[in-house]
Every structure is written in structure tokens, then in C-alpha cells.
Amino acid sequence: MGFLDHSTNNIIVDAVLTDKGRASLARNDGSFNLFKFALSDDEVDYSIIQQYGRTVGKEKIEKNTPIMEALTIGSLSMKNKLLSASNEFLTHLPGLTIDTGGTTVLSLTTNTTNSATLSSTVTVNVSIKNSQNSAIDNDLRDSEIKVEVNDLFISLTGRTPDFKYSDNIACYRVGTTSNADGSISASFTIAVKSFSSSIFNTYSVSTGTFIRTYMSIKGMNSGVSSQKEINISQT
């Protein structure tokens, strides 16, 4: 990964295919088709506007923000996508919360001696709602959420990944339910996979006591997202 050359005023468009895109192109069966695009502001530091004001801050952002090269690993690129809403009077954006039983860090266990033994599972409840408990704007209502987990360690029970990135991040689509109070909810179960002690030792933290991984959840339409840390210990 690097940054685009910012020494001139030339506009540079750096476009690459991700690993998934190259795999689709390599199939040569007509399935490769570019039908939509998205924009993101991953590199923008908006505190500059707070520090210098809107006019000067905007100019500093446009002229001085380093822009990263396009990434081929889709799970690492475009973490903060821009969104469009037709409602010009929109005042509130929804927020997403993850409930796994009240714990900040989710602690699970895996069986490293018997791959036929099920490891621990937990139910994940997701809620998307406005901070003022008002109805979510129609342009921002999510009929699905995207769940990303490391496929080496975690799976969603009874579900098949929509696709998997080259760095083993598996992406699942989970349907949502609209509630009477205007909020949106979803529920699913994650399970820790059983794997060998050698894999545990390879990916565990420096103390060797647990593996630290993360679960990311994002609204497919609103783009609102949240992340949950998962610590996996062995039995």
C-alpha cells in the first residue's frame, strides 16, 4: 500500500480489480460485470474543519490530504463509504448497536483437541435506530446487514458466506426486521470453529492465552457500522 503522487495538481484516478474481481474475470463466463460504484472518505480528517473553519479547512483537506492507492484486498478498502439521501431536511442518521449479552469484549472458547466437538456459540442481536427514537428515513432503511468475520475462527450458524476475501474475511448477508417503534433489528448466531493447537499458537497474542479477532457489522443501505472484539481461548 502506498499514497498517490500529490506533488502536482493533476487529477489521478487509480483503479484496480480486487481479488474477488480478478477471480470473477478469470472465470471468463460472462459473470464479470461492473454495474455500480461507491465513494468513500477514508483518508479525510474532518477535525481540520473544526480547527480552521469551513472555508480554510475545506481548502486544506482538498490540497493536503494524502490519498491511498487503490487496494486489491476488498476487506481493507473503503471502510467509510459516502451515502446519498433525497430528503434535504434530513436531521438524524441512525446508529447501530451490537448486543451479545452486555459484554464489551466477547470471550469464547474453541476445542483444539477434537475437531468433531462443537465450540462455543453466542446469539448476536443488532439494533439500528435514530438517536431521537424517530423513524429512520426511507433512503437509509436497511433490509440487510453485512457481517464480516475471520473465516479461520468464526462462522455464522446455518448460513453460507456471500463471498470470502483473500485474507480469509468472510462476508455474510443477514435480513432485518422493521419494528413498530421505527427501529430495525436483526439476529444471528456465531460459532467458534474447532482448529488445531498449532493454529491457535500461530495466531494467538504474545502471551499465548487467546486469539484476538473482530466481527464487523454494517447496514447495507445506510452504511452505519459497528465492530465487536472477540477473544478466543482454547479448552
What's the pLDDT score for residue 83?
A: 82
What's the pLDDT score for residue 116?
A: 45
SS3 for 99? strand
Radius of gyration of the chain from Cα atoms? 21
Domain 94-234 sits in CATH at 2.60.40.10
The ranges of the chain with pLDDT < 50 are 116, 118
Cell of 121: 456459540
What's the pLDDT score for residue 18?
A: 83
Q: How many CB atoms lie within 10 A of CB 221?
A: 19
What's the pLDDT score for residue 174?
A: 97
What's the pLDDT score for residue 185?
A: 96
Residue 113 CA to residue 1 CA, distance in Å, equals 38
Q: How many CB atoms lie within 10 A of CB 159?
A: 15
Sequence-distant contacts of 86-93: CB under 8 A, at least 24 apart: 86/139, 87/137, 87/138, 87/139, 90/137, 92/130, 92/131, 92/132, 92/134, 93/130, 93/140, 93/222, 93/224
- One-letter amino acid for residue 155 of the chain: S
What's the pLDDT score for residue 182?
A: 87
- Location of C-alpha cell 493533476: 10
Sequence spans of domains, the chain: 19-76, 94-234
Please give the distance of CA 133 from its chain centroid, rounded to a whole number: 25
